[in-house]
């Protein structure tokens, strides 16, 4: 940080010169008026010529000083030329001081007593005024004041009157006081100049740091955007074959197989399920990033949800030899049950993953008008410095080798993003080596109040469909798999790989349902295909969109169509339920359609 005392002397002198030169212009008109007034008041037959000569010299000097100051201020004063300008300034002030002091020689002793008093008062006032205007350059004031005092004192000394001698002594004392004030003014000016430079350097440093921060922020945004694009593209390309694989496995499961073949099929389906769950995790995170998660608020009891999570995840805890417990509760909350279930599922899975001994406890307790759902574990704990980092995407503790069995590092990022979508805080308290507790706060509600449709019954045994379905997808394996699966459900399936082919097939045989992939060839979309078919066959034509895209922009575009949207890989049971809902005129949850079915 630059201090006034540390500022280079030549640089300081340049600013002192500019500050003093800026003071000159304001004194031009007062000086001219004062000189003319003194000539008018003090002139008489004995001193008229001397007074006029004195006034002319004073006016010329002041005009020259003002013009010179204006010229110098209009140019850039370099530190190398500052010393020369200072010497020039001292010479000019010596001349100016001598000119003002010569007023005593022109007027004292040639005018009345009142005139003599006026002369001394004017010279004292000029000395005081020069103290403030010349203070930025202390030597300039010393030269001006000393010269004026010497010229005035020499005149008083020659007058041979003790009273004037006393006035000379008083002038010396007055000048000494002015010198002290001028020194203080010069120091204040130097401090002000130093502070101004300090502020300028701080501002410049802040500007540079801001530019660096903005550049780093842009770089981070570009990297994040590139990451999102890569994940979206990779996820889409992976979803296509995995989606088709699931369809074929479902068809194969309906075939007559030997015991060994059934075992192989079970292993294949388990592997497919693991791959699908990883892709679903990426999809959940992409939905949060895209901002398409809209909570569907309703009142629901917590205990059925806790039971469901325990039934699903307790076997994982048992396999690790740790205890899984959830306390019974009669509490009800107002929130989105699907989002709350996904938050708790991620928190509990994370707790089981990082707990090697002891156990995991899920409990609820009231706090004011809120219910706190807490997930306790006796795992490795989290260092305080990591409390924020664990909520970042792809951040994992103790998984430098990126073991896929430990997940993708998205669970806590998804949980926090969903909690933010619900408008509720997700808190963490942890002690390294002893365990952690995650707390989700939800608005409490009366347990007896349940929103309409919250306890909707699960569908009964699968029934056979009796309709013609038009499938639009540019992937041959997906079309083949859909034909076989829909055929097993009693459907007549027509499959097209473009909008034009779909329109031709629909004109030949009017479909009862359209199922279209969102991304088609030539940058066209399933939304366009459905819109074209509805324009021809009626706006009430049932339709479903299926997409493998996870790019935030694509998710927003697909969701804006208003057509129910499923995400690859689609479980056959999820597709079955979605078809049943659309054909019966029911709406799907547009933000996390089929989430619970996919996770079941």
CATH code of residue 487: 3.40.50.2300
Distance CA(131)–CA(143), nearest Å, equals: 11
Please provide the average confidence, as pLDDT, over all residues in the chain: 78
The listed range with the strongest mean pLDDT (36-50, 405-419, 447-461) is 36-50
Whether residue 201 is found in the same domain as residue 321: no
Kindly state whether residues 402 and 527 are assigned to the same domain: no
pLDDT for 481 = 84
Give domain status of residue 255, yes or no.
no
Claim to verify: residue 440 and residue 486 sit in the same structural domain: no
DSSP category for residue 108 = T
Domain-located, residue 289: no
Domain co-membership, 151 together with 9: yes
The CA distance from 154 to 102, in Å, is: 10
Q: Is residue 592 very low, low, confident or very high in pLDDT (cuts 50, 70, 90)?
A: very low
- Which residue bears the tokens 């366009």? 528
Q: Are 71 and 191 within one domain?
A: yes
Q: Nearest Cα to 551, choosing from 268, 242, 232, 151?
A: 232
Cβ-defined contacts of 56-60 (< 8 Å, 24+): 57/99, 57/102, 58/31, 58/99, 58/100, 59/31, 59/32, 59/35
- pLDDT digit string, tens, across residues 448-500: 444 433 334 333 445 678 899 999 998 888 888 888 888 888 899 999 999 99
Nearest to 148 by CA among 118, 168, 177: 168
Same domain, 202 and 131: yes
Query: How many domains is the chain built from?
Result: 3
- Judged by average pLDDT, the poorest of 71-75, 191-195, 372-376, 440-444 is 191-195
CA atoms within 13 A on the CB side of 121: 8
User: Does 274 fall in a domain?
Assistant: no
Give the range of the structural domain holding residue 101, as residue numbers without chain letter: 4-207
The reply to whether 227 falls in a domain is no
- Rounded to an integer, what is the distance from CA 567 to the centroid of its chain? 32
Domain closes at, from 179, 207, 235 = 207
C-alpha 91/C-alpha 79 separation (Å) is 20
CATH code at position 393: 3.30.565.10
Peptide bond into 7 cis (omega under 30): no
Helical axes 162-253 vs 552-560, angle rounded to 10°:
70
Q: Are residues 34 and 84 in the same domain?
A: yes
Burial of 537 (0-12, 13-18, 19+ CB in 10 A): middle
Q: Do residues 28 and 137 both lie within one domain? A: yes
Rounded-to-integer distance, Cα 465 and Cα 443, Å: 42
Indicate if 9 and 155 belong to the same structural domain.
yes
Record the pTM.
0.40
The answer to whether position 230 is within a domain reads no
Both 421 and 479 in one domain: the answer is no
For the chain, what is the largest distance between any 2 Cα atoms, rounded to a whole number of angstroms?
Answer: 142
Of all residues in the chain, the percent with pLDDT exceeding 90 is 10
Residues 194 and 45 in one domain: yes
In a domain, 267, yes or no: no
pLDDT tens digits, 553-589? 666 776 777 788 887 777 788 888 888 888 887 655 4
Supply the pLDDT for residue 338.
78
CA 568/CA 555 separation, integer angstroms: 13
d(CA 31, CA 99): 13
Cα–Cα distances in angstroms (integers) from residue 80 to residues 14, 53, 83, 86, in the given order: 9, 38, 7, 11
One domain for residues 40 and 80: yes
Q: Considering the domain boundaries, does residue 266 fall inside one? A: no
Higher pLDDT, 151 or 554: 151
Q: What is the mean pLDDT of residues 28-45?
A: 88
Strand pairing of 543-547 and 513-517? parallel
């Amino acid at each position: 940080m630059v201090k006034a005392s540390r500022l280079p002397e030549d640089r300081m002198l340049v600013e002192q010169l500019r500050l003093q030169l800026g003071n000159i212009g304001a004194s031009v008109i007062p000086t001219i008026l004062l000189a003319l007034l003194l000539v008018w008041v003090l002139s008489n037959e004995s001193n008229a010529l001397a007074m006029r000569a004195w006034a002319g010299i004073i006016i010329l000097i002041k005009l020259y000083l003002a013009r010179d100051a204006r010229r110098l201020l209009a140019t850039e004063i370099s530190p190398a030329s500052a010393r020369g300008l200072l010497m020039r300034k001292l010479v000019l002030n010596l001349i100016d001081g001598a000119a003002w002091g010569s007023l005593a020689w022109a007027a004292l002793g040639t005018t009345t007593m009142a005139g003599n008093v006026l002369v001394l008062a004017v010279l004292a006032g000029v000395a005081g005024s020069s103290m403030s205007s010349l203070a930025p350059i202390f030597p300039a004031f010393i030269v001006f004041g000393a010269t004026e005092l010497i010229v005035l004192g020499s005149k008083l000394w020659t007058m041979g009157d003790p009273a004037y001698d006393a006035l000379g002594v008083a002038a010396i004392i007055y000048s000494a006081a002015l010198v002290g004030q001028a020194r203080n003014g010069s120091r204040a000016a130097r401090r002000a100049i130093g502070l101004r430079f300090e502020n300028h350097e701080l501002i410049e440093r802040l500007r540079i740091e801001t530019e660096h921060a903005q550049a780093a922020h842009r770089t981070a945004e570009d990297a994040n955007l590139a990451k999102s694009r890569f994940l979206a593209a990779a996820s889409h390309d992976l979803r296509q074959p995995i989606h088709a694989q699931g369809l074929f496995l479902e068809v194969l499961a309906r075939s007559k197989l030997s015991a060994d073949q059934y075992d192989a099929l079970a292993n294949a389906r388990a592997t497919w399920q693991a791959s699908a769950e990883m892709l679903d995790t990426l999809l959940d995170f992409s939905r949060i990033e895209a901002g398409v998660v809209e909570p569907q608020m309703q009142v629901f009891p917590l205990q059925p949800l806790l039971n469901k999570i325990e039934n699903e995840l307790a076997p994982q805890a048992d396999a690790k030899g740790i205890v899984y417990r959830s306390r019974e509760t009669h509490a009800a909350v107002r929130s989105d049950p699907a989002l709350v279930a996904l938050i708790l599922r991620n928190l509990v899975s994370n707790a089981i993953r990082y707990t090697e001994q002891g156990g995991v406890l899920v409990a609820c307790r009231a706090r004011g008008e809120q219910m706190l759902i807490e997930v306790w574990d006796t795992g490795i704990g989290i260092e305080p410095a990591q409390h924020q980092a664990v909520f970042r995407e792809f951040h994992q503790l103790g998984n430098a080798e990126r073991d896929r069995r430990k997940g993708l590092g998205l669970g806590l990022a998804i949980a926090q993003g969903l909690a933010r979508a619900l408008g509720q805080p997700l808190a963490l308290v942890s002690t390294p080596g002893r365990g952690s507790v995650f707390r989700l706060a939800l608005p409490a509600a009366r347990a007896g109040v349940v929103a309409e449709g919250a306890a909707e019954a699960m569908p009964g045994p699968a029934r056979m469909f009796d309709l013609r379905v038009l499938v639009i997808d540019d992937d041959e394996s997906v079309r083949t798999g859909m034909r076989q699966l829909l055929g097993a459900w009693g459907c007549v399936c027509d499959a097209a790989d473009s909008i034009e082919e779909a329109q031709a097939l629909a004109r030949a045989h009017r479909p009862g349902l359209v199922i279209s992939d969102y991304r088609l060839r030539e940058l066209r979309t399933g939304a366009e295909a459905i819109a074209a078919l509805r324009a021809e066959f009626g706006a009430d034509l049932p339709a479903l969109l299926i997409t493998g895209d996870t790019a935030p922009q694509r998710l927003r575009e697909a969701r804006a169509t208003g057509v129910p949207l499923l995400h690859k890989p689609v479980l056959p049971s999820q597709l079955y339920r979605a078809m049943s809902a659309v054909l019966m005129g029911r709406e799907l949850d547009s933000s996390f359609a089929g989430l619970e079915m996919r996770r079941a």
